[in-house]
A and B are shown apart, each in its own frame.
Chain A
Amino acid sequence: MGVIATRAVSALHRFRRRAVTPRLTDPAWRAQAWLVAAALGLAVFMIRVLGAAWPGQFKIFFPDSFSFINAAKQTPFSPGFYAGERPIAFPALLFILGRSTVVTVVVQTFLNGAAYLLAAATAVRLLRHDEARIVCAFLVITIGIEPRFALWNTHILSESFGMTLAVASVLSWWRFSAQPSRPRLHVAGACTVAWLTVRDSNVPPWLAVGVPALFIASYLWRSADPALRRALRRWAVATLVVCIGVALAQSANGRNRYATMNNIGLRVLPDPELTGWFKDRGMPLDDALRQRTGFSSFDNNWDMLTSPDLAPFRAWADGSGQREMLISYIRFAPHWIGALDDDLPVLLQTDQSGYDAFGVAKRLPDPPPAQIGGPTTRTGLVVWTAISVVGLVLASRRRRVQSIVLGLLLASTFVDLYVSYVGDSVEIQRHLVGPLARMALIMVLCLGVGIDAASEFARVRRSRPDDAITVAAQISVQTAAESALEPTGS
């Protein structure tokens, strides 16, 4: 028995030496192993999200779903497609996938899962310390599998694809900020253009933050390669043109008329000050409209959209009313922010169960405890914002570009949140899904770079003074080298 045991142990050692160790020390093998693990994870995610209704039970029932299908029917070869009732990105995906509900659901689930896996992989690649990598990757995956976000994969709506493109856009800008180069800038620009064209509400945050930031960087980032700065300027112009295009398409098809009417009925008419302002700006206020106080355009069998006595109001809402509504978002920003603040607890806390027609929440893990997957209360939002800011401040010394870019992205999420809230007064919780998912991701990335920077400081401080000087010198050299490499412009 003893001989057999010895032989077995020896065989085990031999196996480890010959088969296990060489593989574990081989970076290519490790990369392959991670890829396989990611594929397995993605398979499990897709099975859990899609399996119970797979394949024939993904019925569409939201009016918006039919509207997306109708938009896709126009095909990208028709000019009407670009000025249709829906932004073009999701109808384009539907068109590519033959407008098949099942195929679209599978593909968008795959893309959504793959996007979050890519986010985790990017975090592992860009962060330098294991503790930051592990925390960041874990939290990113946690966000990806949260039922309130994942359930949208089962619907023919733009939420899932919008979240996927938001992840892609955020990641590509983070990658650019970690090692700025023209190819990375082009990828980030392309992803952003795709993201801008998936939902109308994505335009204002980019107009408010992204475009100015690109212009400013192109002029003030003096250490950057001139070619890179020119490319930044070009992308600022390109994305500005896209934003203008989206806005023109909106006004051409009047797809904001519903949002305008809803806001008037539900938010403006109940408020005398707002009502007076809109009346002064041309809103035809009469008894017929006043009777619709507290109603949306979908209530009472689309009464607002069909009732003859509201014809003047509809004409106004189809035309200048939409512009006046946009102006009101700035003019009455304090009022709207107050309203958002009042509604925030409900909006953050929602699990979107009303939309979970296929029972996704039952098949995915419960939301993580202590809001580690992003804020779900007003206090949580404050805490997460504070954590993000601290993370960015910590990172600002040695990862300045990353810190600035992530800071701008973080700022844009608040604009996104505001615009999505004020943009329409019905289905607000649904409209906030994308902004909240994007916000959670960016906050986690801010936390990740913060931990990464803090780990670096801690290591320097833990070292003996002599070593500390050496390490600090090494880091300085490394940082200087990275700074020199940053604007390669290749």
Chain B
Amino acid sequence: MRALGWRRWFAAATVLVVAAMVVAALFHNEYRSQNWDPMQARVYVDRTIRFGGTFYENGLVNKGPFELMVYRVAAAITSWDGFWYAISAFVLIVSGVLAWAACATTRALGGHRLLGVGVGIGVMFHFALGKADYAGVLYSRNMIIGLFAAAWLIALSPRSWLADRATWSAAAVGVLLGLAVQTLFVSTIAAFAVGLLAWSSLETLDDDRRYRRARRTLVLVPITVFLSAPAYYLVRGRLEQFVSEYWTYNSYQNSGTGRSFANQLVYGRDVILRYYRSWPVSFVIIVAFFGLTAALWKTFDRRVRAIHLSLVVWFLGAWTELVLGQRYSSHYFSILALPTALMAAAVIGHVYRFAHRERGDFRSVAAWPLVASLLAIAAGGGGHLTLGLEAASSFTSVHDVAAQRELDESGKQRTVRAVLDLVSNQNDPLLAWTEFPWTYLNYHRVAATRWIWKSFMLGQIYLGRSGPQYVLPKTWQWFADDMREAHPAAFLEEVALPLTAGTPFAKYVNDNFEQTYRGSDNNIYLRNDEAAAVLRGSPGSALSPVPLLADSNWQVTTAGASLPSDTPPSPDDALRLSMSLCTRISGTYAAEPSGTGSFLSFRFDSDAGSAENMRLNIAGTQVFSGNDGAVFDSVDLDQQSVDPATGEAGTADPATGEPIGVGPPTVDSGATALPVTDLGQHEFAIVVGKRSAAIVIDGMIRAAVRLTNQTRVVLEARNGGVSLTNLATGPPPPDSGCATR
């Protein structure tokens, strides 16, 4: 043990702490990276995978194609459930590159190798697990700083600029900078700053021919890479889409704020002042860096000057980018964070150099990375680290995590998903009038149109004005193309964002869809043919249900059955309606409540008892979905309600029409405590597909539930009795997963 030396024990301890950080980041950022823009990118990529074509035909992409290519790679190497783990791994890779760049900067300016490692660990923690909104995510700007950092690393390394490598290094730097500028054109100044350092490194070449070739490469490659995108789309015949989104929409975004250039500068000045008031540490770093640069400029050699100059230009370029972009979303500040971090690394390198010159070697240097790791956690906050460790600790498999999340889904989401599953498969197109990217991802669907958000069709500019002048030309033509291609089976409307009338979108919905479900959060419209199959499907042949018990209280007739209201509730004394899924059972029912109301439960189970019982319940005027232990979602029938105690009509809220005093139950106890019940006769249908089932009452879907490995449909009276007539069994909807195509 002695042979290993105490320095190695510090190294091992550092590895332990950093490994914990990396593991925590991988598992926590899987969740954290599911942010707004990344979800948008995923929706576009999913659509591209589903329908083919270019990224610009599958979404409104106002950046270069590199961002979506990265997300496409993530989709290619993982499953649907594992997608965000790949993104999380990319976040770690970017953070690692940034850390390496900071480490190299410290070392290039005289810092000890282990000091550089310490600085790198701090930077990695900040970008992977830090508190800032840009940490732990993979926005386009995170990718851009990753590209810049990689180019910076090449530019810093003296070995990259040896005679036989200089051209290749210049080409690599050029590709990286070109991709960054192509992704966001406003990052040109920052790219120029990094290129400046590479240019300076070229000066070490003695061979004039090689020097000129490398210099030429450094200039031409970024330009070529930048132009490769329009050239590619020109060749593919999709230049119009590319220009429309990459150029025209960006010009809308620029003018859509309504600020003059002077006003942009003034606004920028205010933001800068506010920013440094909030982040005094950054301010101290900037002041120290600029002070050091000014004070020591004359003592710097050419290379150190180039590093300092590049960082100054990069820093100014980052602020210029933010000011001209006119948007100061917290995620955007990553472009500023990297040059600031590199400035800090530079200052630390200089300070070490001075200290080392004065007092020689530091014996404690082996402990610095460990100290830096602990300081990073202490200063950066351990909240995300803690969450990451929790996630890593309980992780068993991607599938298990997905299954757990499905169990945790809200009831309303379950209902929508179940209805969609009745008429379409996962990854099928969904038309939505929404402003959120997760609308599609939550339901495992792809966007039916490239205009995934209503704002694109209404000309609503992000943090700017609205108006038809901001709707891209050919928007409606491409929308019509998308509809022809996608032929969506369902349209989802958010109650809080109702469909705007008078648009071609609204016309398309009105002409082709019928409302089938009205919920508190969402309304679902099904395509006319699907709606007809679900709501008014062929009744088929008469159904004679079979009691499960020999001495059952059910009285069965041809196409009918009844249960007296005073029958004691029994889960065993149920009525088997179907021995399989994939059916449509229709008829009429009239509840016969006992003294405490009525409660009918359509139970989806398996005769072997191997499947979880899923239920569609009717309790008085309420219809709800659930399982044996929980209520997922509930709606009220639009019916006159009667209080069973008095026989009088219940009091309804004039605003909502809902019976007063009746709230949706949250736990399915099997008991009915509802004061109001329903004595009317209703037409109903239990529509059962392979993946889900819905209950249709009086012409509308009232509740729906997803199915797994259930095999039969059973009716259970959990309170009171019922009279069923005109029972029939017909075919399920055509796209419910039952047909073999």
Contact = CB atoms under 8 A, between A and B. Distances in A.
Q: Do they bind each other?
A: yes
A284 B23 CA distance: 62
B292 interface: no
B485 interface: no
B162 interface: no
B4 to A, nearest CB: 6
A363 B394 contact: yes
B386 A54 contact: yes
Contact of A31 (B3, B23, B389): B3
Contacts of B386: 54-55
A54 B11 contact: no
Chain A CB within 10 Å, residue with most, of B9, B16, B386: B16
A139 B120 CA distance: 37
A32 B11 contact: yes
A50 to B, nearest CB: 7
Contact of B389 (A42, A50, A359): A50
Contacts of A359: 394
Contact of A40 (B15, B394, B396): B15
Given A47-B23, A55-B386, A38 B394 contact: no
A326 interface: no
A282 interface: no
B29 to A, nearest CB: 15
Interface in A9-56: 31-32, 35-36, 38-40, 42-44, 46-52, 54-55
A46 B12 contact: no
Interface string B383-412: 000100111111010000000000000000
Interface string B369-391: 00000000000001000100111
Interface in B592-649: none
Contacts of A35: 4, 8-9, 11-12, 15
Interface string B300-336: 0000000000000000000000000000000000000
A323 interface: no
Contacts of B23: 43-44, 47
A54 B393 contact: yes
A328 to B, nearest CB: 45
Contact of A362 (B12, B13, B17, B394): B394
B63 to A, nearest CB: 32
A51 B3 CA distance: 33
B308 to A, nearest CB: 33
Given A35-B11, A36-B11, A42 B16 contact: yes
B393 A363 contact: yes
A38 B19 CA distance: 11
A342 to B, nearest CB: 38
B377 to A, nearest CB: 11
Nearest to B389: A51
Interface in B1-59: 3-4, 8-9, 11-13, 15-17, 19-20, 23-24
B15 A50 contact: no
B468 to A, nearest CB: 53
A54 B19 contact: no
Contacts of B15: 35-36, 39-40, 43
B19 A51 contact: no
B313 to A, nearest CB: 35
Chain B CB within 10 Å, residue with most, of A35, A39, A55: A39
Contacts of B391: 51
Nearest to B4: A31
Contacts of B389: 47, 50-51, 54
A19 to B, nearest CB: 13
Interface of A: prevailing SS = helix
Contacts of B390: 51-52, 54
Interface of B: prevailing SS = helix
A44 B390 CA distance: 12
A348 B23 CA distance: 35
Contacts of A38: 12
Interface in A167-204: none
B8 A43 contact: no
A197 to B, nearest CB: 24
A43 B19 contact: yes
Given A39-B19, A43-B19, A47-B23, A52 B393 contact: yes
A39 B11 CA distance: 9
B168 to A, nearest CB: 12
A39 B394 contact: no
Given A48-B393, A52-B394, A43 B11 contact: no
A43 B25 CA distance: 14
A412 B306 CA distance: 71
Contacts of B11: 32, 35-36
Nearest to B9: A35
Contacts of A363: 393-394
Nearest to B388: A51
A54 B390 CA distance: 6
Contacts of A47: 20, 23-24, 389, 392-393
A80 to B, nearest CB: 36
Given A55-B386, A362-B394, A32 B8 contact: yes
B257 to A, nearest CB: 44
Contacts of B20: 43, 46-47
A363 B394 CA distance: 6
Nearest to A42: B16
A264 to B, nearest CB: 43
Nearest to B20: A43
A40 B19 contact: yes
Contacts of A44: 19, 23
Interface in A324-346: none
Contacts of B24: 47
Nearest to A358: B393
A42 B13 CA distance: 10
Nearest to B393: A51
B387 to A, nearest CB: 9
A31 B386 CA distance: 31
A299 to B, nearest CB: 35
A51 B13 CA distance: 18
B217 to A, nearest CB: 19
Contacts of B382: 55
Nearest to A43: B19
Contacts of B394: 51-52, 359, 362-363
A42 B18 CA distance: 12
A54 B392 CA distance: 11
Contacts of A49: 393
A46 B20 CA distance: 9
A307 B94 CA distance: 69
B4 A43 contact: no
A74 to B, nearest CB: 31
A46 B382 CA distance: 16
A40 B17 CA distance: 9
B392 A51 contact: yes
Interface in B211-269: none
A362 B394 CA distance: 8
A184 to B, nearest CB: 12
A47 B386 CA distance: 10
A52 B392 CA distance: 8
Contacts of B13: 39
Contacts of A55: 382, 386
Contacts of A362: 394, 396
Contacts of A52: 390, 393-394
Interface in A37-91: 38-40, 42-44, 46-52, 54-55
A31 B3 CA distance: 9
A54 B387 CA distance: 8
Interface in B107-145: none
Given A32-B4, A51-B389, 10 more contacts: A31-B3, A35-B8, A36-B15, A40-B19, A44-B19, A44-B23, A47-B24, A48-B393, A50-B393, A52-B393
The 3 closest A-B pairs by CB, nearest first: A51-B393, A43-B19, A39-B15
8 contacts: A35-B15, A38-B12, A42-B16, A44-B23, A46-B16, A47-B24, A48-B392, A362-B394
